[in-house]
Amino acid sequence: MDDRPLVYLTREIPREGLDRLEDSCEVVAWEESTAPPHDLLVDRLAELEADGLFCNVADTVDAAVFDASPNLRAVGTMSVGYDHIDLRGAAERDIAVGHTPGVLSETTADLAWALLMAGARRIVEADQQVHDGEWDTWGPMVLLGRDIHDATLGVVGLGGIGTAFAKRAAGFDMDVCYTHTGRNEAAEAELAEYGVDATYCDLPDLLDRADYVSLHVPLTDETAGLISEDELRRMDKEAILINSARGEVVDTEALDRALAEGWIRHAALDVTDPEPLPPGHSLCRHAPERITVTPHIGSASTETRGEMAVMTADNILAGLADEDPPYSALEHAGIR
């Protein structure tokens, strides 16, 4: 019988993370490519008497999970965000929780820019027209988009990902303004080194000014529904909203109306509420000119996902050794 700690994986993970765990743990993984339904996750953890849990943003890790797994000592989420985990519940039961900050900032910023550019220059519908055989000739009025260069970029949340995103504005001669929990002088200085002069303002001011509004805040009680009807109506009719943060930061019902009634030009979303969008959801019924949606792939590059898997494994291994994880979510959230 294997007396090493047992770590349960809720999904297949990159090889390098698996190798790290398998050096000292027994590893059991959910067999399917989609998320385990919550009740099955709870049952599986109970049946296996798991010591560690390797999870991700699509898994809800709550009191039911903890109560079913009395041996659980370490949870590692392969994500920077930890809004899907009951951190207080974990702390009360002395369960370590790790996450993956920093490593994915540049990759997620790349994706946010890809969304911005896809929305501005109508890349997805243009590609679709060619694939559908609808491209017959060059046309002076065909697929007109918006300029990106010389426009004003509004960055909502100038943390690691927001800063990496703003840095990329340097090549486009943009005016950059941002909101944050307060002025972020360290980030401003970092951006200045790239030639980006980012000015701090409040959200209404940013919404008044920006041609592109990109969201980079964590999901908290304060940021849930941050972009709702008033904010969407305040944006310019030609403005584009980019969300690579969390779907719940935007009020879906208000966004639906904004797109239907033309309060804004386009929404380019990597995250949605609900997530995933059920087939036929109203957001998917808008014309591609109005909306671009990708399936929460902000950090999805081979390199970054490999590094995230190793960080997550290391966080779990530390928790199993009764040490603080190198990247503790409890510490990050100010809980411990």
Q: Which residues contact ligand GLV (rule: CB under 6 A)?
A: 57, 79-81, 104, 298-299
The nearest distance, CB 245 to ligand GLV, in angstroms, is: 8
Catalytic residue among 11, 168, 265, 296: 296
- In the bound state with ligand GLV, the residue whose beta carbon lies nearer, of 157 and 298, is 298
Closer to ligand GLV by CB, 98 or 298: give it. 298
Query: Which DSSP string corresponds to 160-229?
Result: HHHHHHHHGGGGGT-EEEEE-SS--HHHHHHHHHTT--EEE--HHHHHHH-SEEEE-PPP-TTTTT-B-H
Catalytic (active site) residue 275: yes
Nearer of residues 69 and 77 to ligand GLV, judged by Cβ: 77
Q: Write down the catalytic residue from 190, 229, 275, 331.
A: 275
SS3 content of the chain, % helix, strand, coil (to 5): 40, 15, 45
Residue in the structure block whose two tokens are 């697929």: 143
Taking the least distance from each CB to ligand GLV, the nearer of 10 and 152 is 10
| Residues 248, 240: Cα–Cα separation, whole Å | 18
The one-letter code for the residue type at 308 is M
User: Cβ of residue 313: shortest distance to ligand GLV, in angstroms?
Assistant: 16
Nearest-CA neighbor of 277 among 260, 255, 261, 262? Answer: 255
Closest distance of CB 108 from ligand GLV, Å: 7
CB of 233 to ligand GLV, least distance (A): 28
| Amino acid of residue 44 | R
C-alpha span between 9 and 107 (Å, rounded): 24
Q: Which one, 107 or 152, has the nearer CB to ligand GLV?
A: 107
Catalytic residue among 73, 122, 246, 266: 246
**Least distance in Å: CB of 309 to ligand GLV?**
12
* Residue 188: both structure tokens together: 């401003």
Which residue numbers are catalytic? Answer: 246, 275, 296
